[in-house]
Amino acid sequence: MTRSHQLIVLLSALCCCLANNVILCMDSETSAVRSFGDTWLRWKGQRVEYCRCTLGGRERCHIVPVINCYVSQCYNGGTCKEAVYTSDYICQCPPGFAGAQCEINTNEKCLVGHGDGYRGTKSVSQSGAECINWNSTSLRGRKFTARKTDASSLGLGNHNFCRNPDGDGSPWCYIYKGSQIVWEYCSLPKCPEDKYRECALESGQKYRGTTSVTKSGSRCLPWDSPVVKRKMYNAWRSDALELGLGSHSFCRNPDGDAGPWCHTYKNMMLTWELCDVPKCCERPMTTLDPRAPTIDNNARGTCGQRLDNTLSQPSFRMFGGRASDITEQPWQAAINFYQPRHKRHFHLCGGVLIDSCWVLSAAHCFEDRNDVKKLQVILGRTFRKQNSSSEQIFEVEKLWMHEKYDPETYDNDIAILKLKTDIGICAVNSREVLPVCLPERGLVLPDWSECEISGYGKDAEFSHEYSERVKRGFVRLWPKERCVPEVLSGRTITSNMLCAGDTRGLDDACKGDSGGPLVCRNNDRMTLMGVISWGDGCGQKDKPGVYTRVTNYINWINNKIKGNPV
């Protein structure tokens, strides 16, 4: 065979592959299928690879630089990264979510209603057959595939999980039956009945039902419809999960309107309209007090009691960038400082809610920014820059830095802020806002006790930006004999400081976390043992973080509160 003849045969084979769109590449971990010429991004450790599907099922990949997406393509609070030289993007998903756009809820195990909004990972039909990937070329010509223009809104993608894109009786999928492709229902249990799911409490901001029709009878548009991408409320907001927005068309009330609503078309015009969601007849009981407790709350047992009241496994990191939720550290505060030149507030430091109108922080945060008129305290916010229905925002009435604070050594690095109010109450108890317990003076916990830190600080020492989302890390209390200058580049350690760190070198506080909490479990309550103060870098192995020892300042704190009643 001549060389020119061989070239003709090769070109013919290539044309056949392209004409039939033969699948050549498959990801064994995600079941994602790729056709010849497809490109995609994937994580390689902390870096990103650009990959192309080539002949023979080979993946050609190389490391590429990425930047934050100009417009996010990720659901459920995922962080969107975009390749510098292409339009490809990749999502960094929060815990519990997966998929190319963080659209898959790995914790969803049951159905609400007919399962139109089901986004779980069931991939076997009721007969036990494995579901076919919705992106498979064997489904070409079928009505519902991953190649539909509205596939993402229907839950369809490069996966083989059961879905209900046509409003059938329950989720289903395509399967092979002999040599034929047929569809079959999947076996999924119904979620426990919740009599408050399909009705609205008050204005319905927590409504998570399945009504998808407006009061006039118009069908709601999906929150991820391309036509609402430039609207303020859509499925790509960083706080979309918190607001109940996603790849569905169910009515929601993300902005505190009169009731749940949705985007819709009326007279060929894009608009919005309230939905016909009934009011709940009664309000479920809550165990939360109507307001945060007073300074003697330790005796009443209402402080330090978050929603789950458990110490989870260490999966959320400060240094390194893993995200958390504000309900896991409801005492966390963000302290902002107003800059007239930019006409807006900027993140300054963290803080800790210890009582309804009182927040602790680090003194060094306010050395050059102690004008209380420019300070702002935000509680109850998971995402640092995004407004939330759970947030509580306060101005500051007064600030006290410790009288013996030493800016050279950071000794006595503690400050207390009194929040401004006209009604005798400031922070109100909720799932997202609760005070932490103060320790008894002289309380000493065992060496190497596991504790938690949290904040909105930088993910790494030289990061340009503070974290978009609150983070939680796990550290252990170091023995006094190991909390010495020799492990901290010779810097002074005083009796007003304590050391804590992660012996793995994974979790640590970083710039912007200062003033935040170091909390430890004591008598089944989360107790404030330290205020984040300083460290030698971020997350360096065998180098602890240094914290202000709160037990040394209980009298100082109580004197400020009792001497300045609300």
Residues classed as catalytic: 364, 413, 514
Q: Are 48 and 83 in contact (CB under 8 A)?
A: yes
What pairing do the DSSP bridges indicate for beta strands 525-535 and 332-339? unpaired
| In 242-323, beta strands by DSSP E | 261-266, 269-274
Q: Are 362 and 413 in contact (CB under 8 A)?
A: yes
Reading the block at residue 508, the tokens are 């640590």
CA 182, CA 167: separation in Å to the nearest integer?
18
Instruction: Give the distance, in angstroms, between the CA of residue 162 and the centroid of all CA atoms in the same chain.
Output: 26
Say how many CA atoms lie within 13 Å of 531 toward its Cβ.
32
CA angle at residue 48 from 46 to 51, to 5 degrees? 145
CA 184, CA 127: separation in Å to the nearest integer?
8
> Residue 364: which residues within 8 A CB-CB, separation 6 or more?
405, 407, 410, 413, 514, 533, 534
Nearest in space to 369 (alpha carbons), one of 514, 560, 563, 554: 514
Q: Would you call 448 exposed, middle or buried from its count of C-beta atoms within 10 A (0-12, 13-18, 19+)? A: exposed
Q: Are 96 and 73 in contact (CB under 8 A)?
A: no
CA 213, CA 525: separation in Å to the nearest integer?
45
| In 380-524, beta strands by DSSP E | 392-401, 415-419, 450-455, 471-477, 497-501, 517-522
Q: Are 98 and 91 in contact (CB under 8 A)?
A: no
DSSP state for residue 136 in the 8-state scheme: -
What pairing do the DSSP bridges indicate for beta strands 415-419 and 358-361? antiparallel
The two counts, helices (H) then strands (E), for the chain are 5, 26
Residue at 422: amino acid letter? D
Nearest in space to 414 (alpha carbons), one of 399, 426, 425: 399
Residue at 252: amino acid letter? R
CA 90, CA 97: separation in Å to the nearest integer?
14
CA angle at residue 539 from 535 to 542, to 5 degrees? 80
Neighbouring CB atoms inside 10 A of 392's CB total 20
Q: Are 99 and 89 in contact (CB under 8 A)?
A: no
